[in-house]
Amino acid sequence: MPNVMLRHDNDGNLLFYVAKKDLEAVVTSVETDDGDSWGGEIGLADGSRFYIDPISPPPAIPTTLRFRKL
Output the CA–CA distances (angstroms, integers) from residue 31 to 8, 10, 19, 20, 21, in the order listed: 18, 24, 24, 25, 23
Q: Indicate the helix (H) or strand (E) that contains 48.
A: none
Number of helical H runs and strand E runs in the chain: 0, 7
What is the CATH number for 32? Answer: 2.40.50.240
Rounded Cα distance, 24 and 32, in Å = 21
Q: What is the mean pLDDT of residues 13-38?
A: 93
pTM of this prediction? 0.89
> Residue 17: which domain range?
3-69
Query: pLDDT (tens digit, 9 = 90+) per residue, 35-65?
Result: 899 999 999 999 999 999 999 999 999 999 9
Q: Give the count of domains, the chain.
A: 1
| CA-based nearest residue to 43, from 33, 35, 34 | 33
